[in-house]
Amino acid sequence: MQNQAHVESWYAASVLPMADFPSLQGEQVADVCVIGGGYTGLSTAIHLRQLGYSVTVLEANKVGWGASGRNGGHVGTGQRADQDQLEKLVGMEHAKALWDLGLEAVDTVCQLIEQHAIQCELKHGNLHVASKAKEAPGLEEEVEHLSNVYGYQQIRYVDPVELGEMTSGQGFHGGTLDSGCRHLHPLKYAQGLARVARESGATIYEGSRVLSYSEGEKVTVKTDQGVVSARYLVLACNGYLEKLEPRTAGRIMPINNYMLATEPLPEELARSLIRDDSSMSDSLFVIDYWKLSQDNRLLFGGGESYSRRFPADMGAFVRKYMLRIYPELANTRIDYGWGGTLAITMNRMPDFGRLSASVFYAHGYSGHGVPIATLAGKLLAEVISGSAERFDVMASVPSQTFPGGTLLRWPGLVAGMLFYSLRDRLG
């Protein structure tokens, strides 16, 4: 199904209207065809244009219609998996290269925003809190480890007393403040990337769902009303890939995550929730994440589901997670509730790869895609232009397929997720 409108959300309600891109009609030729108009696809287009390639982006709905226009807007440092986990998985040298790429990802987001004057409310800092007392020592160790082994000085431990001065949130046992993190308005960022891609000469089509593609001398990509033939193809569909490419599908799992926006809060109340206007996140397996909007709404994300269907009242679905942390918001109106689909992997590291000499993909950012999907675009452009080294730092992280493969992964995933979310609740 093609949908030329964004889902209803506070993000969609607070962006400036942007003219639609046309849909693909007839035949087009490009060096590279990119399927998907989120951060991965748009960043790929921008970086390929910098290298002189002609690019056509095909988006089934609108640019930023997927997770890129609906997410929490947190731009975290490093990778989604912790460094000590990565050290065990791939060794110290490779883990350091991944850390460096994680920092480069945040820099790439910031540079794109600055160089192209993308107005997307970019701010600094994330306050991450321990939801269980036994996790606090681990946070202190992490700060030391990042300082001693990676030379990273922008993160510090926050003890429970200081934390109590920084937020009125309940149930926290210490935290870390990482001033290298950023946060932003995700749909404004996605629309900004689309503008930059268009101005740099990429051709973007909306309302153009790819139905199939085939490889011969060239790659032939078909929508219901047109065809693109290209030397290279990039799959940038993430949680919405569905059946387009079954060869990668077993390594990612689409899951749904939800957000709400409250009514605008009085300044004093807003500051008591998050004193310094950082973003915040907790340590639960089904993570809660939140921040304030420009107009002092609390934008709160929490709760997941694993089937195609979204809850009927998504605001009410998320509200219970918000009230666990901020019971003082019991009488606050919820103005918007929405959900989106993202792709996760077994080890929570993204899945980058190639299916042939002409077909490349990156997806499965597991909730860390604002920076890493932006970086993916840069690395996809590099590998297409013949420099595979940095792309392969990401692509060579061992990945596992979900038990049950493409067909039977749901029951195992749902059982596993429910087990961990139960553990969140039991403490």
Ligand X SMILES: Cc1cc2nc3c(=O)[nH]c(=O)nc-3n(C[C@H](O)[C@H](O)[C@H](O)COP(=O)(O)OP(=O)(O)OC[C@H]3O[C@@H](n4cnc5c(N)ncnc54)[C@H](O)[C@@H]3O)c2cc1C
Q: For residues 323 and 318, give the distance between their C-alpha atoms in angstroms, rounded to a whole number.
A: 9
Taking the complex as a whole, the smallest distance from the CB of residue 367 to ligand X amounts, in Å, to: 5
**Sequence-separated (6 or more) residues with CB below 8 Å from residue 44:** 32, 34, 55, 234, 236, 376, 377, 380, 381
Contact range with ligand X by CB under 6 A, out of 5-13, 55-63, 156-164, 292-300: 55-63
Taking the complex as a whole, the smallest distance from the CB of residue 92 to ligand X amounts, in Å, to: 25
Instruction: Name the nearest CA neighbour of 335 among 270, 284, 259, 423.
Output: 259
Q: For residues 374 and 153, give the distance between their C-alpha atoms in angstroms, rounded to a whole number.
A: 24
Residue closer to ligand X by CB (options 66, 315) is 66
**Residue 220 near residue 232 (C-beta atoms within 8 A):** no
> 373, 380, 395, 397: which one contacts ligand X (CB under 6 A)?
373
Strands (E), 285-333: 289-292, 298-305
- 37 near ligand X, judged by CB under 6 A: yes
Tell me the site size for ligand X, rule CB under 6 A: 42
- 188 near ligand X, judged by CB under 6 A: no
- 207 near ligand X, judged by CB under 6 A: no
Contact range with ligand X by CB under 6 A, out of 159-167, 264-272, 306-314, 362-370: 362-370
- 102 near ligand X, judged by CB under 6 A: no
Q: Which residues of 341-373 are buried (b: 16+ CB within 10 A; e: fewer)?
A: bbbbbbbbbbbbbbeeebbbbbbbbbbbbbbbb
> 173, 209, 319, 409: which one contacts ligand X (CB under 6 A)?
209
* Bridge partners for 182 per DSSP: 75, 124
Contact range with ligand X by CB under 6 A, out of 17-25, 54-62, 307-315, 399-407: 54-62
**Residue 76 near residue 371 (C-beta atoms within 8 A):** yes
Residue closer to ligand X by CB (options 125, 136) is 125
- 325 near ligand X, judged by CB under 6 A: no
Q: Under rule CB under 6 A, which residues in 248-277 are in contact with ligand X? A: 257, 259
Q: Residue 135 — left, alpha, or beta (φ > 0 → left; ψ -120 to 50 → alpha)?
A: alpha
* Bridge partners for 29 per DSSP: 229
> 12, 32, 46, 59: which one contacts ligand X (CB under 6 A)?
59
**Sequence-separated (6 or more) residues with CB below 8 Å from residue 187:** 6, 9, 11, 12, 15, 64, 68, 69, 70
Contact range with ligand X by CB under 6 A, out of 20-28, 39-47, 166-174, 308-316: 39-47
Q: Which two tokens stand for residue 125?
A: 């800092």
Residue closer to ligand X by CB (options 136, 347) is 347
The string of DSSP letters for 19-53 reads: PPPPPP-EEEEEEEEEE--SHHHHHHHHHHHHTT-
SS3 of residue 349 by DSSP? coil
Residue closer to ligand X by CB (options 53, 365) is 365
Instruction: Name the nearest CA neighbour of 241 among 402, 11, 38, 398.
Output: 38
- 367 near ligand X, judged by CB under 6 A: yes
Residue closer to ligand X by CB (options 136, 297) is 297
> 10, 72, 78, 262: which one contacts ligand X (CB under 6 A)?
72
Position closest to ligand X via CB: 369
Taking the complex as a whole, the smallest distance from the CB of residue 373 to ligand X amounts, in Å, to: 4
Q: Under rule CB under 6 A, which residues in 326-345 are in contact with ligand X? A: 340-342
Binding site for ligand X (CB under 6 A): 35-41, 58-61, 65-68, 70-74, 209-210, 236-240, 244, 257, 259, 289, 301, 340-342, 363, 365, 367-370, 373
